[in-house]
Amino acid sequence: MKSNFDPQREHNMAKKSKVDAAPELTPPEEVIKLHLYVAGQSPKSVAAISNLKRICAEYLTAPYNVEVIDLVKNPELARDHQILAIPTLVRSRPGPMRKIIGDLSDTEQVVADLDIRGSKPKRKAAGA
């Protein structure tokens, strides 16, 4: 009696029936949400905006969103958001919330307070 067993066919069927493990998907990076509360164009507010732009450009590699909130135009937001001094930077995400009061001129302190100290400054182009 002839056997229907074909080792090559069995090998090919075994190959087809293997289930490949799904590649590990890394979760998308959470967007860093920053809110800078200022008072119009006061010198400290202008300095805080400038310093925050520089810090974000130099240190943040993760996606981020910055919202500048002028409390001269919307004073009720100071009470609603519990802002006691200006300028104040609030990092609302990722948690926990952090608040930094002042013009953000102490870069190392701001980087530490925002908990981005593990990030390295982005490299500047040679001659820049």
Residue-wise over 53-62: b if at least 16 C-beta within 10 A, else e? eebeeebbee
* Two tokens, residue 3: 């056997």
Longest dimension (CA), the chain: 98
Q: What pLDDT does 6 receive?
A: 53
How many domains in the chain?
1
| Residue 94's CATH number | 3.40.30.10
Q: Does residue 9 lie within any of the structural domains?
A: no
Torsion sign over Cα 111, 57, 29, 45: positive
Q: Does residue 119 lie within any of the structural domains?
A: no
pLDDT > 70? residue 46: yes
Q: Does residue 90 lie within any of the structural domains?
A: yes
Q: Does residue 120 lie within any of the structural domains?
A: no
Q: Does residue 67 lie within any of the structural domains?
A: yes
pLDDT in tens, 75-109: 999 999 899 999 999 999 888 899 999 999 999 99
Q: What pLDDT does 42 receive?
A: 95
Q: Does residue 102 lie within any of the structural domains?
A: yes
Distance CA 56, CA 58 (A): 6
Q: How confident is the model at residue 22 (pLDDT cuts 50, 70, 90)?
A: very low
What is the average pLDDT across 3-26? 47
* Two tokens, residue 57: 């450009």
Q: Does residue 84 lie within any of the structural domains?
A: yes
* Two tokens, residue 67: 């919202």
Q: Which domain holds residue 65?
A: 32-113
- Quote the strand ranges of the chain, DSSP E: 32-38, 64-70, 88-93, 98-101
pLDDT > 60? residue 29: yes
Distance CA 115, CA 103 (A): 18
**Partners of 99 in beta bridges:** 90
Q: What is the DSSP letter of 3?
A: -
Mode of pairing for the β-strands spanning 88-93 and 98-101: antiparallel
Distance, first Cα to last Cα, the chain? 84
